[in-house]
Chains A and B, each alone.
Chain A
Amino acid sequence: MTRSFEFKQSGHLNPALFDPATRSLHSDKLAGRWVNANRETQGIAELVIERDGGQFNVSVVVVGADGPISWPTCKARALANLEEEAGQRTMALAAVFDYRFMRAEAYLRVNKGVLVTVLFTTFQDNSGRANYVNREFFYREDRK
């Protein structure tokens, strides 16, 4: 149901939201190649975040039964993250990976140099698998 009324929620009134600089807060901290800190993950092995002007693109490699599987690159939406721990002000990304058999909604953020991804996966193939949520941690691998 859509409601068209407006209300003055305190969070929406943060003056920083009106500052154009907010749209690019430390966005460079997101870009790069990130490797899963858990070498035994059954989820995302690594991902690459690239910035192209105001657009972020996310490329993901997941762990498959027979080896790594590359997902098609996905465009991600940037959101201001103004209330991270220790007063950090940075960006978070929201992405939706939508494939025929599954749909994964994710948010990604960097906290103290660690990329945290939370993925909500919905299966669309009547396989009987439960839709599930998974959180993983990644470290940035410096480019050579």
Chain B
Amino acid sequence: MTTVIDTSALVGVWVNSNSASNGIARMVMSESGGSLTLQVCAIGPDSLIDWGREDVSVFTSAPSSRVGAGFTCRYDFGFVETRLLGMILKGLLVLAELHSFKDDSERADYFVREYFALDHATYQVGVLQACEL
């Protein structure tokens, strides 16, 4: 049985509220054919890093709800696997990032929680590409 979910609250460009973050700068959630994909731009020492686009799983706020309120997504970069778990709270996207290293660097797996606001473009002149500064 397929459950149709309203994902409109998740779609858009999400910008990190913390300008000093060393994690994710912004994310673009796109909808196509009823499915969502996410493109992530992370912060590198010299420039933004495009993680590329991955499929997401959508979650509502209750079993009886049909409105999207959260998502999960997985990126596997070979040397590290990152799990993203996001939920919308009072209009903010609260994102948990779970990083698990698979290389021999002996770095500890780590957890980060960041907050993102939807770039509603009300005050912008043009459309910004995801990774352009």
Contact = CB atoms under 8 A, between A and B. Distances in A.
Contact of A23 (B60, B98, B108): B108
B63 A10 contact: no
Contacts of B1: 126-128
Contacts of A12: 80, 99, 101, 107
B112 interface: yes
Nearest to A107: B96
B31 interface: no
B64 interface: yes
A121 B66 CA distance: 14
Nearest to B106: A18
Contact of B61 (A77, A84, A133): A133
Interface stretch (A1-9, A30-38, A55-63, A136-144): A1-9
Contact of B112 (A11, A121, A126): A11
Given A4-B77, A128-B1, A17 B61 contact: no
B65 A79 contact: no
B44 A80 contact: no
A132 interface: yes
B60 to A, nearest CB: 4
B52 interface: yes
A81 interface: yes
Interface string B54-90: 1001111111111001101000111110010101010
Contact of B42 (A9, A14, A128): A9
Given A10-B43, A10-B45, A118 B110 contact: no
Interface residues of A, number: 48
B22 interface: yes
Q: Is the interface of A mostly helix, strand, loop or mixed?
A: mixed
A1 to B, nearest CB: 8
A92 B97 CA distance: 11
A17 B5 contact: no
B58 A131 contact: yes
A11 B22 contact: yes
Given A79-B109, A94-B111, 14 more contacts: A2-B76, A2-B77, A3-B76, A3-B78, A11-B99, A11-B112, A18-B106, A19-B108, A23-B108, A80-B108, A121-B59, A129-B64, A132-B63, A132-B70
Interface of B: 1, 3, 5, 22-23, 42-45, 49, 52, 54, 57-66, 69-70, 72, 76-80, 83, 85, 87, 89, 96-101, 105-113
